[in-house]
Each structure stands twice: as C-alpha cells, then as structure tokens.
Amino acid sequence: VPRCHPGISSVSTNVVFQNRGHARCSVPQENPFIKVSEEVREAIETQKPVVALETTIYTHGFPYPENVALASHLESIVRVNGGIPATVGVLNGVARVGLQAEELIELTASAGKPDTKKISRRDLAFTCGLGFAGRRLNGGTTVSGTMVLAHLAAIKVFATGGLGGVHSGGESSMDISADLTELGRTRMAVVSSGCKSFLDIPRTLEYLETQGVCVATFADGRDGNVDFPAFWTRDSGSRSPLTIENEKEAAAMIYAQQGLSLTSGLLFANPIPAEYSIAKKEMGSIIAQALRDARKSGSVGSENTPFVLERIREITKGESITANKALVEANVARGTKVAVHLSNLEQ
Ligand code: PSU
Ligand code: MN
C-alpha cells in the first residue's frame, strides 16, 4: 500500500482504527514534474478537508477574465464551507496541486492559446516531460487529469461541473471519455452534476458499472425514483443506480471504500439547483443543433466537448453558462461538506 493511501494492508480486527491512518502526500518537495502547494501539503498532513478543483473548465470552457473570476469564486466557496481548495492544472510545464492566486491568473489568461492544452491522463507525460526538457506548456486538467494529480497528493474529494462520458455514436466512434476509466482505477470521490445531456447517458452508466464505479445521486428528500442528472437539466430519463440523502452518507461511503481497500473511484451526482434547470425537451433540440454543427465542422476527439459547449452557449445566448456556474457552485459547496464529514470520521 503506497504511503499516501491509508487503508488496511493486512486483514485487521480493527478496521476502523486502521482507517484512521494519516494520509501522506507521496509527492516529494523536489519532484520536478509536480508541485504541491505548501498550504495543500500542510492541510493533507494535518487531515484537514481538502477539495480538488479542475481547470479545463477555465482553459477550455470560459474566456478570460470570466474564468479567473469563477476560479477564485469556487475557491472561496470551499473556504466558506470549511475546506482548503486545491486547484489543479499544469503551469509552465509543471503539474500543480494548489495553484496560488497569481498562478491562477497566469493559467486562466492563457486560455484559448495553442500552447494551452486540455490535459487528461494521457497528456501528463507530454506536458510535464516537455516542461522538464525546457518547453513550458500550460494546460487545464480534465476530470481524469485532475484525479491523477490530486490522488498523488492524497486528496480524496474533487468537485467539478460535469463528467465526461460516452459520446453519442460512441459505440462506433469509440469516443469514451478517459474520465470513466479513471474513475475505474483511481480512488477519488468526484462530485458532479452527472454528465452533459449531449452524451449518451445510458451507455455512460453501463460503462461506469463495468468499471466498478459506484454512482450515487443526492436525492434530497425525493424518493428512490431519481434520475442520474444531465448537467443543465435534472432529468435525463435514466434512473440513478443509487441514491443518497446527504453529505454525511457520501462521506461514510468514502470511508467504507478506504476501509475495504477498494481502489476505484466514487461518483456523487448532484442535480443542478431546480431554479436553474433547463427543461429536458428544450435542451434536446439545442443539443441536436450543436451536435450537427460539430459534425459539420469536423471537431472530433478532445476538441469535441469544447466545441459543443461553445455552440450551446451561442444558441442559448448565455443561459447555459448561467446554469453551468450555478451547478458548479452547488457541487463545490456540497463536495466541501462531504470532505468536512470525511475529515471528522478520520479524526
Ligand atoms: N464541463 C464543462 N466544460 C468542460 C468540461 C466539463 O462545463 O470543458 C471538461 C471536463 O474537464 C471533462 C472534460 O473532464 O470536459 C471531458 O472531455 P472529453 O469528453 O474530451 O473526455
Ligand atoms: Mn473524447
């Protein structure tokens, strides 16, 4: 068992005690490829609730300076709720866990430039290796890229807007987000508003099941019949495999995952606040239009998601952006509450 992952290395009669073991950041201070901020390092070592945040949403979702405003807003939501934010990204060829204010400005200001990459697991060796060799690229980390780096720093909770998924037509294009396999292989609790409704949600849920990913949706008092949410809309037409009532239950599930030494991830879906939810039917035709345009423009692969999101923004005249902000704020608040409960369990 690597040092940074508490859990049982052998069968114990007192699993709960073992589960209280200190999390240790396994990243040495002098690692040239990844730098963990002092604040985050200290918070991990002292068992404070740390919440990871991704940066593709800033480099490939929002223009500057809207993106930096959102970035600092999300960090303050973490702090207000009693947590320590750890914004993850790649700056000047070095992976970062816990970007400082000036560093966030530098990264977000580079949004849209050709040397600012969208970084999932596969891209880490490229950006950090070239950084080592002297070519200093920037990049926003996706859910998968953020999970990899946050996990190295022993962070357990990560809040974001939407998860990638199986793209429509994915059964022949094989465009399946690396976010899904990452959840299958890396123990991280991800709080998101499900995945975007232009993805194939039934297949995404099937894929997550195959990967052994626990998917639970916050039901907030509604009974068992709750949809896995579809980002801008609460209703996807696909029922969530599991539901939970509150952050305390989510924290207990993370605690159990550790206690059972299960190394896969957990996905907690938090439906967009009802007042911001765009009707499923309305969203359906907007998405159909955006997907047609994406096909026409030939944006495939990692360019597909940013293109479709930008088209949806244009078609909805910005309404999709208002909804996007509302849901990510709600997820960050909720994720922080989960992290606080988890840190209490571990004391
Ligand atoms: N949500 C947004 N904008 C984004 C993304 C999510 O509102 O740009 C990003 C996330 O970082 C997610 C990624 O991990 O899109 C998935 O991209 P792909 O489909 O290429 O795997
Ligand atoms: Mn893809």
How high is the ipTM of this complex? 0.94
Catalytic residue check, 282: no
In this predicted model, what pLDDT tens digit does every residue of 117-156 receive, in sequence order? 999 999 999 999 999 999 999 999 999 999 999 999 999 9
Check residue 280 and give its pLDDT. Answer: 87
CB 294 within 8 A of CB 308: yes
Chain centre to alpha carbon of residue 142: 7
Is residue 54 part of the annotated active site? The answer reads yes
Which tokens go with 104?
């966030």
Q: Which residues pair with 139 in a beta bridge?
A: 90, 117
Extract the tokens encoding 296: 């026409």
CA of 45 to the centre of ligand 1 (A): 30
Q: Please list, in sequence order, all residues whose beta carbon lies within 8 angstroms of the beta carbon of residue 99, skipping any fewer than 6 positions away.
A: 37, 55, 87, 88, 89, 91, 107
Q: Let me know the angle formed at the C-alpha of 306 by 239 and 129, rounded to the nearest 5 degrees.
A: 110
Task: Give the pLDDT score at 29.
Answer: 80
Task: Look at residues 156, 147, 151 and name the one whose alpha carbon lies nearest to residue 48.
Answer: 156
Would you state the pLDDT for residue 19?
56
53 CA distance to ligand 1 middle (Å): 13
Within 10 angstroms of residue 324's Cβ, the number of other Cβ atoms is: 26
Q: What is the pLDDT of residue 20?
A: 52
For the chain, helix, strand, coil in percent to 5 are: 45, 15, 35
pLDDT of residue 176: 97
Written as six digits, the tokens of 286 are 């907007």
Spatial CA neighbour of 193 closest among 228, 219, 241, 224: 228
Instruction: Give the Cα separation of 305 and 74 in Å (integer).
Output: 22
Ranges of residues in the chain with a pLDDT under 70 are 1-23, 223-224
Q: Model confidence over 208-246: pLDDT tens digits?
A: 999 999 999 999 888 668 999 999 999 999 999 999 999
User: Which of 62, 67, 142, 309 should be mutated for ligand 1, with most atoms under 8 A from CB?
Assistant: 142
Q: CA–CA separation, 36 vs 148, rounded Å? A: 13
Q: 82 near 340, Cβ under 8 Å?
A: yes
C-alpha triplet 149, 155, 158: angle, nearest 5°: 85
